Amino acid sequence: MMLTLYGHPISSFTWKVLMALYENDTPFDFITVDQNTYADFITKWPMGKFPILIDSDRKSMVTETSVIIEYLDTYYPGATRFIPQNVDAALEVRRWDRVFDHINTTMSKVVVDNIRPDGQRDPYGVEEAKRVVHAAYGVVEAQLSDRAFAVADGFTMADCAAAPALWYAARNVPLEGKYPRIAAYLDRLKARPSFARTIKESEPLFHMYPGA
């Protein structure tokens, strides 16, 4: 097996895939996309959105985090299965995966505004992004009313999406004590070895991320 993940150690979407790889101890090489590797990366994927997964054994390049995780679940399965066999349960996992990705993407609008030069800030856009994130928090809080994980009875792709989305979102759009189930869920995710490892390995670069 020869898998190579191109991403960045503080990228929330890179974290999502790293969690899946670490969950099953899947062997892979990691290449940080920076000024030294960007040219090679952009040649492989001109859209410039990371992470991407290169599978040299199968001569495949896989893009988009959810697709990458389903690819791993199909071709490199382990003890943790990210997509349930039951069709209805699988649809729920994919639905909540999208909810958490939406939180992730919306939250990034707040982060980007933090690093904009003076005179180019977008206070209206930031407040609207915060409103959307809080609305999503309310939906997630209700979903977690009777479960330890986002969907079904075990860890799935939805939890891989939730961990980085909520970890970063809580720093930029604070929970403010209003969402105790999310806070408890995030604590459970942070205690999970795959996510704890992801965070620890990224710590040296946290200074690069506003709100981290």
Q: Which CATH number fits the domain 3-75, given the four candidates 3.20.20.105, 3.30.1300.10, 3.40.50.300, 3.40.30.10?
A: 3.40.30.10
211: Cβ contacts below 8 Å, ≥ 6 apart: 110, 111, 114, 168, 171, 172
CA–chain centroid gap for 138, Å, is 19
Q: What would the pLDDT profile of 39-81 be if each residue is shown by its tens digit?
A: 999 999 999 999 999 999 999 999 999 999 999 999 999 999 9
Q: Where are the domains of the chain?
A: 3-75, 87-192
User: What top-level class would CATH report for the domain 87-192?
Assistant: mainly alpha
DSSP string, 143-162: HGGG-SSSSTTS--HHHHHH
Residue 57 is predicted with a pLDDT of 95
**Topology agreement, domain 3-75 and domain 87-192:** no
- For residue 66, give the nearest of 86, 87, 44, 82 by alpha carbon: 82
Q: What would the pLDDT profile of 124-139 be if each residue is shown by its tens digit?
A: 888 999 999 999 999 9
Amino acid at 192: R
∠ CA 10-13-14, nearest 5°, is 60
31: Cβ contacts below 8 Å, ≥ 6 apart: 4, 5, 6, 7, 37, 41
Amino acid at 17: V
Using an 8 Å Cβ cutoff, are 16 and 160 in contact?
yes
Q: What pTM did the predictor assign?
A: 0.94
